[in-house]
């Protein structure tokens, strides 16, 4: 406990200039103010960020008046939920009126009701580790539900009964999985039981709110821990049913584990390779497209499983089927079009490398591999490497060497031919001039002919390309 107190003291020293000034302003106006929830928890864990959440007795219009002239910027986008946001220096501060959130059984949106006390506000929060507060400006510690004990035991519990908590806001069931993945905490048995009993209630929550929690889980330091909670409680059956469906199937290459376990291993291995991605920056970092592609890459297997006479199992075209399922699921969860297409494309291409064998591809096949992947090529490299989960070390090493060789060939050809921006040797205007055509379908056909020629034979130069084009046109 001494270590926790020392961490809190250090964090308070850091945020003191901001919260003390605010606390004094609210106290002078006869209002209560307290640092609450995640920032208090994170201060005790030594991981406080630049965002501060506070709760107050003041109504939003009063809060807005009290921060005016003190904050560098103020916004009221959360006013309907009792929240006024502001920025002070490097700090982002959100101040919310004491409140209660509860769902009507048939509603998709929470009804906001203002509360009248700090104790009441804390009792309506999701978990005990988020139900601690620091009153301001006196810095009194409030912990009516034993959050500090659960924090020490790394356990997720609810302030009241989990049934009441999840009835008030069903999304809290997904937050349990998310906090498990983010903090490495265990979900208490009674909380897991309530999640299992009430899993279907998640269906009244909007797709956007479900998506945001799923993304936070996938982007956490240990997403597999959180995903297991979602699957084992039955929540995944409602929000990402393709994942638990994998547990019923056997992977034809790795019969010692089912496709579900294989998928979670691929996700972990993908995370280990994130530093290879151009968007990762120094030291790597979470990449949603890479992680979600790893999670979804085999979801087509249940639909395509076939048993052969010799007892073996095939999953022909599970890449194409999986891409369709991925698009459908991501659209249902309201993901952006760009993210959806990126993940679905990687799912569709994830088997392509296995046609490489031991290096028999022609330069033409390598060009097509690069062209089909387009800007997603680094992500395809990561997914393909992560998809090797064999325990056979010799086989794993052989696959790694083969993919190293493919990447070397891609790099070599790229230097020679600028593979990432492959285009025909002639553009549309040149084609029209050579063939005496106006814009239309025939120009598109000629362009595709030259593109195939470019992929098959590499750069030809404008003169040779024009000669081949005239011959092709005459032969038509």
CATH of the domain at 176: 1.10.110.30
Same domain, 289 and 402: yes
Supply the range of the domain harboring residue 207.
Answer: 154-239
**Token digits of residue 302:** 């249940």
User: What is the per-residue pLDDT across 346-361, written as a single tens digit (0 to 9) for each?
Assistant: 999 999 998 777 677 8
Strand partners, 99: 114
Q: Among residues 189, 220, 239, which one ends one of the domains?
A: 239
Q: Supply the pLDDT for residue 421.
A: 58
Which pLDDT band, with edges at 50, 70 and 90, does 223 fall under? very high
First-to-last C-alpha distance (Å) of the chain: 83
In this structure, the answer to whether residues 106 and 86 fall within a common structural domain is yes
Average pLDDT, the chain: 89
Name, of 13-27, 195-209, 253-267, 420-434, the range with top average pLDDT: 195-209
Same domain? 136 vs 194: no
The angle that helices 377-386 and 259-272 make with each other, rounded to 10 degrees, is 130
Q: How confident is the model at residue 254 (pLDDT cuts 50, 70, 90)?
A: very low
Task: Please check whether residues 341 and 454 belong to one and the same domain.
Answer: no
Average pLDDT of the segment spanning 275-292: 80
Q: Output the pLDDT for position 231.
A: 97
- Write out pLDDT tens, residues 369-423: 988 898 899 999 999 999 988 888 888 888 888 889 899 888 888 776 665 557 7
Provide mean pLDDT across the span 64-77: 94
Same domain, 234 and 251: no
- Residues 278, 222 share a domain: no
The reply to whether 226 and 251 lie within a common domain is no
| Whether 40 contacts 7, CB under 8 Å | no
User: What are 148-184's pLDDT values in tens digits?
Assistant: 999 999 999 999 999 999 998 999 999 999 999 999 9
Domain boundary among 153, 170, 193: 153
118 and 259 part of one domain: no
Residues 229 and 360 in one domain: no
User: Is residue 266 domain-shared with residue 375, that is, in the same domain?
Assistant: yes
Q: Is pLDDT larger for residue 35 or for residue 389?
A: 35
Gap between the Cα atoms of 114 and 59, Å rounded: 8
CA distance 25 to 296: 51
**Residue finishing a domain among 196, 212, 239:** 239
Residue 449: CA atoms inside 13 Å, Cβ hemisphere, count? 19
User: Which neighbouring-strand residues pair with 155?
Assistant: 186
What confidence tens digit (pLDDT) does each residue in 101-135 have? 555 666 656 667 888 899 999 998 999 999 999 99
Higher pLDDT, 85 or 400: 85
pLDDT for res 101: 58
Backbone angles phi, psi at 473, to 5 degrees: -65, -40
* 186-187 and 33-36 strand pairing: unpaired
**133 and 180 share one domain:** no
Inter-residue contact 8 to 44 (CB < 8 Å): yes
pLDDT tens profile 184-218? 999 999 999 999 999 999 999 999 999 999 999 99
Residues 281 and 384 occupy one common structural domain = yes
3-state secondary structure the chain: CHHHHHHHHHHHHHHHHHHHHHHHHHHHCCCCEEEECHHHHHHHHCCCCCEEEEEECCCHHHHHHHHCCCCCEEECCCHHHCEEEEEECCEEEEEEECEEEECCCCCCCCEEEECCCHHHHHHCCCCHHHCCEEEECCCEEECCCCHHHHHHCCEECCCCCHHHHHHHCCHHHHHHHHHHHHHCCEECHHHHHHHHHHHHHHHHCCHHHHHHHHHHHHCCCCHHHHHHHHHHHCCHHHHCCHHHHHHHCECCCCCCCEHHHHHHHHHHHHHHCHHHCHHHCCCCCCCHHHHHHHHHCCCCHHHHCEECCCCCEECCCHHHHHHHHHHHHHHHCCCCHHHHHHHHHHHHHCCHHHHHCCCCCCHHHHHHHHHHHHHHHHHHHHHHHHCCCCCCHHHHHHHHHHHHHHHHHHHHHHHHHCHHHCCCCCCHHHHHHHHCCCCCHHHHHHHHHHHHHHHHHCCCCHHHHHHHHHHHHHHC
| 298/448: higher pLDDT | 298
Cβ neighbour number for residue 415 with a 10 Å cutoff: 9
Confidence (pLDDT) at 256? 40
> Residue 319: which CATH number?
1.10.3210
Domain count, the chain: 4
Q: What is the pLDDT of residue 293?
A: 98
């Amino acid at each position: 406990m001494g270590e926790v107190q020392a961490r809190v003291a250090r964090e308070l020293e850091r945020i003191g200039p901001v919260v003390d000034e605010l606390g004094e302003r609210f106290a002078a106006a006869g209002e209560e103010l307290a640092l609450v929830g995640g920032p208090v928890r994170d201060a005790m864990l030594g991981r406080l960020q630049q965002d501060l959440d506070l709760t107050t007795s003041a109504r939003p219009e009063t809060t807005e008046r009290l921060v005016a002239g003190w904050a560098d910027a103020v916004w009221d986008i959360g006013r309907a939920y009792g929240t006024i946001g502001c920025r002070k220096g490097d700090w982002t501060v959100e101040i919310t009126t004491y409140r209660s959130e509860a769902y009507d059984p048939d509603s998709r949106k929470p009804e906001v009701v203002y509360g009248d006390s700090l104790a009441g506000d804390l009792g309506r929060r999701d978990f005990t580790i988020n139900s601690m507060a620091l009153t301001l400006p006196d810095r009194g510690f409030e912990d009516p539900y034993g959050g500090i004990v659960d924090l020490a035991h790394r356990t997720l519990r609810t302030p009241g009964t989990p049934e009441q908590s999840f009835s008030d806001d069903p999304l809290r069931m997904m937050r349990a999985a998310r906090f498990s993945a983010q903090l490495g905490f265990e979900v208490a048995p009674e909380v897991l039981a309530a999640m299992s009993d009430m899993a279907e209630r998640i269906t009244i929550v909007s797709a956007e709110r479900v998506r945001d929690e799923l993304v936070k889980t996938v982007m956490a330091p240990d997403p597999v821990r959180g995903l297991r909670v979602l699957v084992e409680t039955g929540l995944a059956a409602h929000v990402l049913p393709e994942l638990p469906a994998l547990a019923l199937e056997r992977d034809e290459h790795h019969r010692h584990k089912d496709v579900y376990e294989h998928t979670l291993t691929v996700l972990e291995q993908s995370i280990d390779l994130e530093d290879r991605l151009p968007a990762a920056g120094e030291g790597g970092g979470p990449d949603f497209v890479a992680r979600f592609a790893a999670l979804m890459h085999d979801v087509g297997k249940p639909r395509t499983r076939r048993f052969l006479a010799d007892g073996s199992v095939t999953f022909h075209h599970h890449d194409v089927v999986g891409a369709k399922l991925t698009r459908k699921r991501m659209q249902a969860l309201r993901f952006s079009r760009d993210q959806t297409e990126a993940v679905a494309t990687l799912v569709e291409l994830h088997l392509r490398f296995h046609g490489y064998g031991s290096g028999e591809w022609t330069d033409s096949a390598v060009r097509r591999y690069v062209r089909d992947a387009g800007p997603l090529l680094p992500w395809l490299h990561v997914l393909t490497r992560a998809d090797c989960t064999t325990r056979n070390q010799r086989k794993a090493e052989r696959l790694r060497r083969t993919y190293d060789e493919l990447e070397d060939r891609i790099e070599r050809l790229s230097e020679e031919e600028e593979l990432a921006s492959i285009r025909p040797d002639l553009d549309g205007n040149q084609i029209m001039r050579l063939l005496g055509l106006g814009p239309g379908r025939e120009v598109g056909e000629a362009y595709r002919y030259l593109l195939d020629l470019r992929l098959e034979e590499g750069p030809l130069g404008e003169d040779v390309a024009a000669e081949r084009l005239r011959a092709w046109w005459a032969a038509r």
